[in-house]
């Protein structure tokens, strides 16, 4: 019986639950100094920084300003971005958002460093501030980079003019806000660095991509790649925000080399909320044209992306939104305009889904609006326009190459599980009797892209002397369950018990190379080289077992139930993995090992359908999520426990965007959501038990048939809940409510007639 596809509990969890985990903040690094970054309290200002008082404080080893830092500015994400918009590691004469680094204090203890940081004097001459991304486009808007002459970091024009919708019988339009979010990893960022006796630099980083971090640090420090060793211990969540090499982390090895001492930095929650990159941050202008029979024809999306104060990867995310703009629909034409704009706010980067949730949120909201306009059910309009299973592989108008899909099948399954007809009947009954708690049913159908760059991955399998295995992977875990699934793959091929399989990742000296974890790529990219390596060691071991049993290798059988080799038909005489490992070591002088780099045929496209049921209190505007049903198809499922966990976590984050979470600033650029007291970060108490409907449609683009699952829940859930809130109020004439659908926003949308109160 195959272990693949069965429910195997995560092997990582006992270690996490019993305190066996290792995070950077609790790693023993003898003699490590503590680093505190002094941060700007003005959103836009000319500054002069004085660290002289901090230098004389007890325990202080160094106090530095931007003038002391001889590191290059951050690289720009695209050649079209004006060069003057590059970010310095430490602000030199101008700050552009609250939280930007203006000085560095290094001390013997964390307390001493914090105390000394309070002594740094920052003389600020305020400059005009622009926080709103649309206001930043105005002709008279304050410029963050006057030399550029614009706040536009990058622009891609639409392909069609004002006559785009000529011939369409119905056109609906809506401005949609996909609000700025904080990633909120429960382990805030941390990093440490030490210069070794041979001059190499060791860096401990809670990154999603150790090898990329190593390469970025080497380039920034002017070192060869082999002079930098990156170690990633346990990582308490990333969600895309820990995918890059931030200034805070580049400065650590620079300081260690300058001071000749190990250094460590651990950010506070407020630093994390205000200076760790934010996500989303789009204003979208969606237009959809079609016929009165419900046929959708043309779609236009104008995206205004808030890049924050410095255009890094977030400035490019709208291009993923553009790629996935058509969603699951058979549209004749799709036209997308992209404008990324700088504002006096924290920079924006990838956050769970990274451009794809924004695409789904726009198309699913505007499809609901089209249905309302022509008076048909939201499900029916989807049925009439979904791509059908026989159309795959399919190339969209935006040049996305969809692999496989059965969108109608996913919709049918989730509607049946939710009992959609009964929900509509209950909704109508509540409306008919003027119930003050109304019901809303929201539907979303989605497709996303995983491993969007199509990168390959490294993997190896080594047989140990005791007959166990060491698996090495270039992916890097931060909560996904890699140890469990990769061990399952090797156990399936070799018969070695999972308890005897060790999975290693996150150490650039131990793992030869890798492309890290992001874009839901780990299984589809990291699995095939591990399987190929396992099969190689099996074939080598088969020949060795034949020698030990004095048999023909062609007659050898691996009994994966017992993990032993024997001659076909005579299982009584067998040899185990320890036997063949010993024979190989005696013959070759080293352990039995195989490694592979495997490149997939391309990205994969998971898909699904979600149904959200909400109750809305018409007197207060309070929204309560009553039920959530999700059908997410990620190709072949290796472990339903892992898949369910990823879906549940993703759905929770997507629902949170629809109902609660939003990063906010005041008009002067001061953060208003700097802690979990201010930011509506939900707990398990806010959610019902999510219902998952299984479905598997394999992809031909990798040998496992697997697609990604880490972001699917986030992508499908937000528009489902958003649509449900608006649906609950449809009988009152409400057409749209901006996210997050807070009680105040809903209450105001309901209006004075229904609630009896003025607005």
User: What would the pLDDT profile of 4-46 be if each residue is shown by its tens digit?
Assistant: 999 999 999 999 999 888 999 999 999 999 999 999 999 999 9
Give me the pLDDT at residue 759, please.
Answer: 39
**Strand 457-463 with 469-473, pairing:** antiparallel
Residue 754 is predicted with a pLDDT of: 56
Q: What is the pLDDT confidence band of residue 221, given thresholds at 50, 70 and 90? A: very high
How far apart CA 569 and CA 77 sit, in angstroms, is 61
Helix pair 420-432, 407-418: axis angle to 10 deg: 50
Extract the tokens encoding 659: 């109902």
pLDDT for position 20: 84
pLDDT bracket for residue 563 (50, 70, 90)? very high
Give dist(CA 207, CA 218) in Å, integer.
Answer: 15
Q: Is the pLDDT of residue 72 over 50?
A: yes
Please give the average per-residue pLDDT across 304-327, as a whole number: 97
Contact 244, 513 (CB under 8 A): no
The CATH fold of domain 31-127: Aldehyde Oxidoreductase; domain 3 (3.90.1170)
pLDDT at 554: 93
Helix H or strand E encompassing 280: strand 279-290
CA 639 to chain CA centroid, Å, is 21
Residue bearing the bigger pLDDT, 754 or 325: 325
Residue 632 has pLDDT above 50, yes or no: yes
Question: Can the peptide bond before residue 585 be classed as cis, meaning omega within 30 degrees of 0?
Answer: no
- Domain(s) of CATH 3.90.1170.50: residues in the chain: 31-127
**What is the chain's Cα-based Rg?**
28
Q: How large a percentage of the chain has pLDDT more than 90?
A: 98
- CATH 3.40.50.300 for domain 354-451+603-752, yes or no, is no
Residue 82's pLDDT band, with cuts at 50, 70 and 90, is: very high
Identify the three-state secondary structure at position 191: strand
Cβ neighbours of residue 286 closer than 8 Å, sequence gap 6 or more: 173, 174, 175, 176, 299, 300, 301, 362, 363, 365, 366
Please check the confidence at residue 121 and state whether its pLDDT lies above 60.
yes
Q: What is the mean pLDDT of residues 176-195?
A: 97
Reply yes or no on whether the pLDDT at 432 is more than 50. yes
Q: What is the pLDDT at residue 280?
A: 98
Please give the Cα distance from 320 to 355 (Å, whole number).
5
Query: How many other CB atoms are found less than 10 A from the CB of residue 50?
Result: 15
Q: Which two tokens stand for residue 24?
A: 């950077």
Three-state SS for 105-164 is EEECCHHHHHHHHCCCEEEEEECCCCCCCCHHHCCCCCCCCHHHCCCEEEEECCCCCCCC
The CATH number given to 457-598 is: 3.30.365.10
**How many whole angstroms separate alpha carbon 241 and alpha carbon 316?**
15
- Residue 507 pairs in a beta bridge with 231
How do residues 370-403 score in pLDDT, each as one tens digit? 999 999 999 999 999 999 999 999 999 999 999 9
Q: Encode 367-394 in three state secondary structure.
A: HHHHHHHHCCCHHHHHHHHECCHHHCCE
H helices present in 475-550, as ranges: 482-494, 527-549
Average pLDDT over residues 518-531: 97
Q: Which two tokens stand for residue 389?
A: 């299973």
Q: Tell me where in the chain the CATH 3.30.365.10 domain(s) lie.
A: 354-451+603-752, 457-598
Work out the widest C-alpha separation in the chain, in whole angstroms.
92
pLDDT at 244 over 90: no
CA distances from 104 to 114, 237, 266, 309, 567 (A): 11, 26, 13, 20, 68
Residues 91/100, Cβ–Cβ less than 8 Å? yes
| Model pLDDT, residue 562 | 94
Whether the per-residue pLDDT at 753 is higher than 60: the answer is no
- Are the CB atoms for 713 and 414 separated by under 8 Å? no
* Residue appearing with tokens 């592989």: 393
Average confidence score pLDDT of the chain: 96
Instruction: Please give the sequence-ordered ranges of beta strands (E in DSSP) within 599-732, or none if there are none.
Output: 607-617, 623-633, 691-693
Q: Over pLDDT 70: what percentage of the chain?
A: 99
Question: Whose CA is closest to 516, among 470, 455, 462, 471?
Answer: 455
Q: How far apart are CA 534 and CA 549, in angstroms?
A: 22
């Amino acid at each position: 019986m195959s272990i693949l596809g069965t429910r195997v509990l995560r092997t990582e969890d006992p270690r996490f639950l019993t305190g066996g985990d290792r995070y950077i903040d609790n790693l023993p690094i003898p003699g490590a100094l503590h680093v505190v970054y002094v941060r700007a309290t003005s959103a836009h200002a000319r500054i002069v920084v004085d660290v002289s008082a901090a230098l004389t404080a007890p325990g202080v080893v160094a106090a530095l300003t931007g003038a002391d830092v001889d590191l290059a500015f951050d690289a720009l994400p695209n050649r079209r971005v004006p060069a003057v918009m590059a970010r310095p590691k430490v602000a030199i004469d101008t700050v552009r958002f609250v939280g930007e680094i203006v000085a560095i204090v290094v001390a013997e203890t964390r307390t001493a460093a914090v105390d000394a940081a309070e002594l740094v004097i920052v003389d600020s001459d305020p400059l005009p501030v622009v926080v709103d991304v649309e206001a930043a486009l105005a002709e008279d808007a304050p410029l963050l980079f006057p030399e550029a002459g614009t706040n536009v970091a990058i622009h891609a024009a639409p392909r069609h003019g004002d006559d785009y919708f000529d011939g369409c019988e119905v056109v609906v339009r809506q401005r949609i806000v996909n609000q700025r979010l904080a990633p909120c990893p429960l382990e805030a960022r941390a990093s440490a660095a030490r210069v070794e006796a041979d001059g190499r630099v060791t860096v401990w980083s809670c990154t999603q991509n150790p090898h990329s971090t190593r390469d970025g640090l080497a380039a920034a420090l002017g070192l060869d790649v082999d002079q930098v060793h990156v170690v990633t211990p346990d990582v308490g969540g990333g969600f895309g925000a820990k995918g890059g090499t931030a200034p805070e982390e580049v400065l650590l090895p620079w300081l260690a080399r300058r001071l000749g001492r190990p250094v460590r930095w651990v950010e506070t929650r407020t630093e994390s909320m205000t200076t760790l990159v934010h996500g989303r941050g789009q204003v979208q202008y969606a237009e959809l044209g079609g016929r009165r029979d419900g046929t959708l024809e043309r779609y236009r999306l104008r995206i205004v992306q808030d890049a924050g104060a410095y255009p890094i990867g977030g400035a490019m995310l709208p291009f993923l939104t553009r790629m996935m703009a058509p969603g699951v629909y058979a549209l004749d034409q799709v036209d997308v305009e992209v404008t990324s704009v700088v504002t006096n706010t924290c920079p924006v980067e990838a956050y769970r889904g990274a451009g794809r949730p924004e695409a789904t949120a726009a198309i699913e909201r505007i499809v609901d609006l089209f249905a309302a306009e022509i008076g048909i059910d939201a499900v029916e309009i989807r049925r009439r326009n979904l791509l059908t299973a026989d159309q795959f592989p399919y190339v969209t108008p935006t040049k996305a190459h969809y692999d496989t899909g059965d969108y109608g099948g996913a919709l049918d399954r989730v509607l049946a599980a939710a009992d959609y007809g009964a929900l509509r009947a209950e909704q109508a009954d509540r409306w008919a009797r003027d119930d003050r708690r109304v019901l809303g049913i929201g539907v979303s159908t989605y497709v996303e892209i995983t491993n969007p760059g199509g990168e390959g991955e490294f993997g190896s399998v080594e047989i140990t002397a005791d007959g166990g295995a060491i698996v090495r992977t270039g992916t890097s875990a931060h909560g996904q369950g890699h140890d469990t699934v990769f061990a399952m793959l090797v156990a399936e091929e070799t018969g070695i018990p999972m308890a005897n399989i060790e999975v290693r990742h996150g150490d650039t000296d131990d793992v030869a190379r890798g492309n890290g974890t992001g874009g839901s790529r780990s299984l589809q990219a990291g699995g095939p080289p591990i399987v190929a390596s396992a099969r190689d060691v099996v074939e080598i071991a088969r020949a060795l077992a034949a020698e030990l049993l004095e048999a023909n290798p062609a007659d050898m059988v691996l009994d994966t139930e017992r993990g032993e080799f024997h001659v076909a038909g005579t299982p009584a005489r067998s040899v185990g993995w320890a036997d063949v490992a010993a024979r190989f070591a005696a013959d070759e002088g080293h352990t039995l090992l195989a490694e592979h780099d495997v490149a997939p045929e391309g990205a994969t496209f998971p898909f699904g359908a979600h149904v959200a049921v909400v109750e809305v209190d018409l007197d207060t505007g309070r929204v309560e999520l009553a039920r959530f049903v999700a059908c997410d198809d990620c190709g072949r499922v290796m472990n339903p426990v892992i898949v369910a966990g990823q879906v549940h976590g993703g759905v929770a984050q997507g629902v949170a965007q629809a109902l609660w979470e939003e990063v906010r600033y005041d008009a002067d650029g001061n953060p208003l959501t700097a802690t979990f007291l201010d930011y509506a970060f939900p707990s398990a108490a806010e959610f019902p038990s999510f219902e998952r409907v299984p479905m598997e449609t394999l992809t031909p683009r990798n040998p496992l048939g697997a697609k990604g699952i880490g972001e699917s829940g986030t992508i499908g859930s937000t528009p489902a809940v958003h649509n449900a809130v608006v649906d609950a109020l449809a009988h009152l004439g409400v057409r749209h409510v901006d996210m997050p659908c807070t009680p105040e926003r809903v209450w105001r949308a309901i209006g004075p007639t229904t609630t009896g109160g003025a607005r």
